[in-house]
């Protein structure tokens, strides 16, 4: 039982019991043909064994009230880095200033997973530890859902996500459970106690409300950051819905709830949601991405095929076990994780603070003060105008074209026209344009870098860049792998909407094989959008596909012109400031670096426009003559400022044209946006948005450093609290025999010693880097003294590695430091001494 339990619990295998049992059974059949089949018995034993081990690791055997007194979530592995009053928070945390409250806030992410289903088999059984771990207690949960059977969810968001719509779909009668909703810690990706529940008909509000409120029932925190992919809809009427829930589920009025949309999902929302719910703009969110819940699903989906065949109770207990195994691996890996976050955040904080300071100093002080007042007013009260939301302009934009196409496809669906795929043609094409842009970014980056180094003869810069070449190459390769994966997924849709491309892809593949060339890099792969095909192949694609790309390209070209105007205006302002205020070689070099960044952006936007214009010419019909005329050829000489002074500054030549002969570049004359007051108001608006985004980046990195530093302190303090908790369990039960008391005392001491060692290991990892980075705090001095004392004690004590004293009730603290169990490799031992299983129980290599 124990090897199979550890095999599954450490996620080294996601296979079901039958796959593991049958090899052993048939092996013994060779020698004992009459050996009875014991699959049913071993299945029941595994189920009970998991339950007993969970209760043991939850210290339920040490409680005088017994296992029946177990409270909801009491057997879950908790996150040591999350704020837990009375365990790892200072006593005065509730009186922290407004600017410091985020350090003591709880960060959660919630989502639903529709792979963890359960077949309807007519079997009714209850979990052995119902509500003890990560799933909510089933009986009150079902009673709650019974009162919301007819609830219909409504969505008014400009999102391409369909979570709300799917909640209204009819349930599959062959499934007892359609999926699982869950909540986890969005900073460290640990599953929350009583933070999971089954979904019957989709991602309904009544399900998700109950799950998230259950896990917050005993959370004594003052500030909550909650990310959800449909937070813009879910949070609208949450206070009203909570009023009808049981009193135990209602949030304390003093809790400040701040909702956000995860960064990856945010791109699928409209501009208002992107400005209102972005974690990049929300004060106190640090560098939280909000997508940690997706990591949980990727780790649990592998067991979906086996759990869907189980009985309801066995399935819930099995998922509880795997969720606990995931949590434990995250806990023991938290040392390297937090250190990596701090190593990244410290230099990035300095970098973005410098960029923001230089940008602010190049702008008029009165304008900056006005913007500061505007953004601070919004941060204090979100009902104020959002300064990150760009003002609407007349003319076409890519977002407007997407909206028009979506409305058009909705009308077609209402009229009975069936789309070829669940992903509509406009979304398919929009994704293709995004992939094309990502390809260009990779090609453009290498060209720009070479050009800068050649033009400025930065030999020292090239030499410095080679130091970090390995890490940079790794980062680029990972991004290329992600791009290649997206292209492969997109190809499946392309085969539906553009079947004619299949022949071209086969020809490309054959050509590569004939030339004995290696695989084509993803940034060089031909996407074969309709604009890339000749007319005879375009007609073999989905009807109206070429027309839809034409409209998207028009919007893309208009967006490029607007972006080009914005960047040129910002560059002109910065250059004026440099000429009038910057003196000295050092200051001039810094100003030149800023100008180089703007040059790169301008060149990239210009090339993007040229690609869009070529596509427009390839797709245009006779009826589009007026539209085509709007988009002229963009020469390098056309990329210049609006006014004369701007044009002179941006012109790289020595030729200066008088005011009487000067002509305005066509990029300022073309009808793209509202021309009224554009020279002042629109440019100030564009500059305002860029400045505020730069400010937000600097603030989020500053918050990240502070938050990770606080998380390190909390982790160590929680380990010490938990070790003390185990030490206090010894001798609690006096009604049992002496042998049982001795075993319980030894087990409690063993758990406490393992936690002490884990805390020392983390402190040994963190404190040297923190000292090197000029951090200081009383808790660091305290742990330095502990580590020094531990080293002195170890030096004066002779220990035989791997040996244990038969009279010792706990492992010696010098037996070694527990190493984190790698979530990928699954190594279970460090130096052949020991490791921990899913609740921190030490396993010796005997």
Confidence of residue 552 (pLDDT cuts 50, 70, 90): confident
Confidence of residue 445 (pLDDT cuts 50, 70, 90): low
pLDDT of residue 713: 97
Confidence of residue 328 (pLDDT cuts 50, 70, 90): very high
The order of strands in the sheet holding 106-113 is 191-199, 179-185, 106-113, 223-228, 256-260
> Across residues 122-129, what is the average pLDDT?
88
Q: Contact 292/187 with Cβ under 8 angstroms?
A: yes
Residue 503 has pLDDT above 80, yes or no: no
| Tokens at 604, concatenated | 């990239």
pLDDT of residue 647: 52
**In this predicted model, what pLDDT tens digit does every residue of 479-492 receive, in sequence order?**
888 888 888 888 88
pLDDT of residue 571: 76
> Across residues 381-402, what is the average pLDDT?
70
**In this predicted model, what pLDDT tens digit does every residue of 565-581 receive, in sequence order?**
888 877 776 666 666 56
Residue 395 has pLDDT above 50, yes or no: no
Q: How far apart are CA 740 and CA 738, in angstroms?
A: 5
Q: How far apart are CA 327 and CA 191, in angstroms?
A: 6
pLDDT of residue 214: 95
Listed by start position, the domains of the chain span: 93-331, 397-507+514-654+663-671
> Across residues 575-600, what is the average pLDDT?
68
H or E stretch at 142? helix 138-146
**In this predicted model, what pLDDT tens digit does every residue of 409-418 receive, in sequence order?**
565 555 444 4
List Cβ neighbours of 434 (8 Å cut-off, separation of 6 or more). Answer: none
Q: How far apart are CA 103 and CA 804, in angstroms?
A: 42
pLDDT of residue 375: 94
Best CA proximity match to 845, nearest among 638, 108, 836: 836
pLDDT of residue 283: 95
Return the higher-pLDDT residue of 498 and 634. 634
pLDDT of residue 138: 93
Confidence of residue 41 (pLDDT cuts 50, 70, 90): confident
Angle at 592 between CA 588 and CA 595, to 5 degrees: 140
> Across residues 757-764, what is the average pLDDT?
95
Confidence of residue 392 (pLDDT cuts 50, 70, 90): low
Residue 556 has pLDDT above 80, yes or no: yes
Residue 171 has pLDDT above 60, yes or no: no
List Cβ neighbours of 11 (8 Å cut-off, separation of 6 or more). Answer: 299, 302, 322, 325, 326, 329, 823, 826
pLDDT of residue 827: 37
**In this predicted model, what pLDDT tens digit does every residue of 278-317 receive, in sequence order?**
999 999 999 999 999 998 898 888 888 888 888 999 999 9
- Out of 317-326, 363-372, 499-508, which region has the weakest mean confidence (pLDDT)? 499-508
Residue 223 has pLDDT above 80, yes or no: yes
Q: Contact 269/277 with Cβ under 8 angstroms?
A: yes
- Out of 91-105, 266-280, 400-414, 821-835, which region has the weakest mean confidence (pLDDT)? 821-835
- pTM summary value: 0.68
CA distances from 505 to 88, 525, 526, 528, 829 (A): 58, 10, 8, 9, 48
pLDDT of residue 276: 92
Instruction: Please give the mean pLDDT across all residues of the chain.
Output: 78
pLDDT of residue 551: 87
Residue 753 has pLDDT above 90, yes or no: yes
Best CA proximity match to 307, nearest among 293, 322, 295, 294: 322
pLDDT of residue 8: 54
């Amino acid at each position: 039982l124990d090897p199979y339990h550890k095999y599954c619990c450490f996620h080294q295998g996601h296979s079901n019991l039958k796959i593991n049992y049958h090899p052993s059974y048939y092996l013994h059949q060779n020698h004992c043909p009459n050996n009875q089949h014991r699959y049913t018995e071993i299945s029941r034993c595994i189920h009970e064994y998991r339950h007993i081990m969970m209760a043991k690791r939850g210290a339920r055997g040490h409680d005088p009230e017994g296992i029946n007194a177990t409270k909801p979530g009491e057997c879950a592995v908790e996150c040591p880095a999350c704020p837990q009053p009375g365990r790892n928070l200072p006593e005065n945390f509730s009186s922290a200033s407004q600017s410091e409250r985020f350090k003591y806030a709880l960060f959660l992410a919630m989502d639903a997973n529709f792979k963890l289903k359960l077949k309807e088999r007519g079997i009714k059984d209850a979990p052995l530890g119902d509500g003890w771990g990560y799933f909510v207690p089933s009986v009150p949960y079902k009673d709650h859902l019974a009162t919301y059977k007819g609830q219909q969810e409504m969505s008014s968001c400009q999102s391409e996500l369909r979570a709300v719509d799917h909640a209204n779909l009819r349930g599959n009668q062959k499934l007892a459970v359609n999926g699982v909703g869950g909540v986890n810690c969005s900073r460290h990706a640990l599953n929350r106690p009583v933070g999971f529940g089954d979904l019957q008909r989709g991602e309904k509000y009544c399900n998700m409300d109950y799950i998230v409120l259950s896990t917050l029932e005993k959370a004594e925190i003052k500030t909550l950051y909650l990310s959800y992919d449909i937070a813009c809809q879910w949070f609208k009427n949450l206070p009203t819905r909570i009023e009808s829930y049981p009193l135990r589920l209602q949030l304390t009025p003093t809790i400040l709830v701040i909702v956000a949309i995860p960064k990856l999902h945010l791109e699928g929302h409209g501009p208002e949601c992107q400005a209102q719910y972005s974690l990049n703009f929300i004060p106190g969110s640090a560098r939280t991405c909000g997508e940690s819940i997706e990591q949980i699903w990727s780790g649990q989906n592998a067991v979906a095929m086996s759990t869907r065949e189980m009985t309801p109770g066995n399935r819930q207990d099995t998922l509880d076990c795997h969720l606990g195994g995931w949590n434990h691996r995250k806990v023991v890996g938290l040392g390297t994780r937090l250190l990596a976050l701090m190593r990244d955040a410290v230099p990035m904080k300095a970098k973005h603070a410098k960029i923001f300071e230089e940008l602010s100093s190049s702008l008029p002080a009165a304008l900056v003060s006005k913007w500061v007042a505007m953004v601070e007013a919004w941060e204090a009260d979100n009902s104020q105008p959002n300064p990150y939301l760009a003002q609407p302009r007349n003319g076409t934009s890519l977002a407007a074209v997407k909206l028009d196409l979506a409305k058009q496809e909705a009308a077609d669906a209402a009229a009975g026209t069936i789309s070829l795929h669940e992903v509509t043609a406009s979304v398919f094409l929009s994704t293709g344009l995004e992939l094309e842009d990502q390809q260009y970014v990779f090609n453009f980056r290498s060209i720009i870098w070479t050009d800068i180094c050649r033009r400025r003869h930065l030999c020292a810069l090239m030499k410095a860049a080679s130091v970090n070449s390995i890490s940079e190459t790794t980062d680029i390769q990972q991004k290329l792998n992600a791009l290649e994966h997206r292209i492969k997924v997109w190809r499946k849709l392309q085969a539906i909407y553009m079947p004619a491309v299949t022949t071209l892809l086969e020809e490309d593949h054959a050509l590569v094989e004939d030339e004995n060339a290696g695989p084509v890099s993803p940034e060089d792969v031909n996407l074969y959008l309709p604009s890339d095909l000749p007319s005879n192949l375009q007609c073999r694609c989905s009807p109206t596909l070429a027309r839809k790309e034409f409209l998207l390209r028009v919007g893309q070209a208009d967006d490029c012109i607007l972006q080009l105007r914005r960047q040129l205006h910002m560059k002109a302002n910065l250059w004026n400031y440099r000429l009038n205020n910057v003196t000295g070689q050092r200051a001039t070099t810094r100003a030149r670096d800023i100008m180089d960044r703007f040059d790169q952006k301008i060149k990239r936007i210009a090339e993007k426009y040229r690609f869009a214009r070529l596509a427009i010419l390839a797709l245009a019909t006779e009826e589009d003559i007026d539209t085509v005329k709007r988009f002229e050829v963009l020469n390098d000489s056309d990329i210049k400022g609006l006014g004369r002074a701007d044009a002179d500054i941006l012109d790289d030549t020595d030729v200066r044209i008088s005011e009487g002969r000067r002509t305005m570049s066509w990029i300022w004359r073309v009808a793209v946006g509202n021309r009224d007051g554009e020279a002042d108001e629109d440019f100030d608006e564009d500059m305002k948005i860029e400045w505020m985004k730069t400010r937000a980046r600097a603030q989020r990195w500053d918050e990240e450093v502070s938050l990770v530093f606080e998380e390190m302190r909390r982790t160590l303090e929680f380990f010490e609290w938990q070790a003390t908790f185990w030490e206090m369990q010894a001798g609690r039960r006096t009604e049992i025999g002496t042998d049982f008391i001795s075993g319980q005392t030894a087990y409690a001491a063993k758990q406490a010693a393992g936690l002490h060692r884990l805390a020392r290991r983390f402190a040994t990892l963190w404190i040297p880097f923190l000292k090197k980075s000029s951090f200081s705090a009383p808790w660091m001095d305290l742990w330095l003294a502990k580590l020094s004392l531990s080293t002195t004690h170890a030096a004066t004590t002779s220990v035989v590695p791997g040996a244990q004293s038969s009279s010792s009730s706990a492992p010696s603290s010098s037996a070694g430091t527990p190493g984190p169990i790698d979530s990928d490799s699954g190594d279970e031992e460090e130096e052949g001494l020991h490791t921990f299983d899913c609740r921190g129980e030490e396993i010796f290599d005997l």
